[in-house]
Amino acid sequence: MGEVITLEAGKFIEVDGQPCLNMATHNYLGLQGNDDIEESAIKTLKKYGVGSCGPRGFYGTVDVHLDLEEKLAQFMKMEEAVVYAYGFSTIASAIPAYAKRGDILFVDCKVNFAIQKGLDASRSRIHYFKHNDMDDLEILLEQQAELDRKNPSKARITRRFLIVEGIYMNSGKICPLPQLIQLKKKYKLRIFIDENISFGTLGKHGRGVSEYFNIPVDEIDLIVSSMEWALATIGGFCVGSSYIVEHQRLSGLVSKINVCFYLQCIENGLALVTSAYLNDVEKFVPRESIRLTVNRMLTASEIDSAVIVLHDAWEECLDIKNYESSKDD
């Protein structure tokens, strides 16, 4: 069955009883084996057990989940965050939560496998550009802009996304974020960045590629990262505006795709471990806001259908029927 690890995998590792220097780890910050984090994990296991054994949308949400999401949003200086059970499913599920059939995605040809699975699930039209080649990307964008000018009615209902990685898993190169932001603004794109490797490693405080290039995070529509690399735990997260994150939660509640991520429950102890790592950063408290938008291209019946979905999701999340019956009692 090959080599077997017989001790905790840290800077050094024991394989089949032989001590080795670990050159195959993603434990960039040395958090694995940290005494304070291990103590926090043990305390959490004693209080909550190993998990809630239920999906987030039903009875699986625990206070440490909400605490972790709040601290991630504060750390990344975004309005809200949403936590996922597994790192791989984070980006693989986030993409089809937004991009649907008929949408257009411009994607770097070196993106990782999880992104590729998300692209497949979205059923969108994919245009790959050469790795970190902004000239090639702009050629594709100009070609699409020309098609849009010929068919403006279709262009109005077609969404366009730009999907890249902060540090590419398949090449180790950093994405040219300043140029990407310029193209985003010029061609009216939504930009999603997978920061699996760059989170915790790039920037003065480890906030990733936006901090590395000193670009405001509100220039980025969605930042996605695994917690299984620099944070040495399990799960993943997305951060963005309240509107973006709430859309993800709703999509996770009603999605019928096979990679339905958000209904899985992240283990409580691991959530608190990650949260403890973020406790010492400065606070970033966004203004409270609730936003509801309606596409003016929708028909009245389509709007009615959307309202029904929103109402059902609201009842499911808040268990409003049980609340009303308890008031009657």
SS3 per residue for 103-143: CEEEEECCCCHHHHHHHHHHCCEEEEECCCCHHHHHHHHHH
Q: Is the pLDDT of residue 253 over 70?
A: no
Q: How confident is the model at residue 4 (pLDDT cuts 50, 70, 90)?
A: confident
Using a pLDDT cut of 90, give the percent of the chain over it: 47
In a domain, 284, yes or no: no
In a domain, 288, yes or no: no
Asked whether residue 307 falls in the same domain as residue 256, the answer is no
Judged on CB neighbours under 10 Å (0-12, 13-18, 19+), 91 is buried
Asked whether residue 133 falls in the same domain as residue 256, the answer is yes
In a domain, 270, yes or no: yes
Q: Average pLDDT, stretch 136-161?
A: 95
This prediction has a pTM of 0.76
In a domain, 214, yes or no: yes
pLDDT at 293: 54
Average pLDDT in the chain: 81
Instruction: Give the tens place of pLDDT for each residue, 7-47.
Output: 777 788 888 888 888 888 888 888 888 888 889 888 988 88
Asked whether residue 115 falls in the same domain as residue 259, the answer is yes
In a domain, 298, yes or no: yes
Asked whether residue 202 falls in the same domain as residue 306, the answer is no
Q: Is the pLDDT of residue 267 over 70?
A: no
The residue range of the domain holding 60 is 35-277
Asked whether residue 195 falls in the same domain as residue 47, the answer is yes
Asked whether residue 139 falls in the same domain as residue 11, the answer is no
Gap between the Cα atoms of 46 and 111, Å rounded: 40
Element at 80 (helix H, strand E): strand 80-84
pLDDT at 310: 62
Q: Average pLDDT, stretch 161-170?
A: 97
Q: Average pLDDT, stretch 289-300?
A: 57
Q: Is the pLDDT of residue 271 over 60?
A: no
Asked whether residue 310 falls in the same domain as residue 238, the answer is no
pLDDT at 110: 97
Gap between the Cα atoms of 235 and 227, Å rounded: 5
Contact by Cβ (8 Å): 235, 204: no
Q: Name the pairing type of β-strands 236-240 and 190-194.
A: unpaired
Q: Average pLDDT, stretch 59-76?
A: 88
Q: Is the pLDDT of residue 176 over 90?
A: yes
Asked whether residue 113 falls in the same domain as residue 52, the answer is yes
pLDDT at 16: 85
Gap between the Cα atoms of 227 and 159, Å rounded: 29
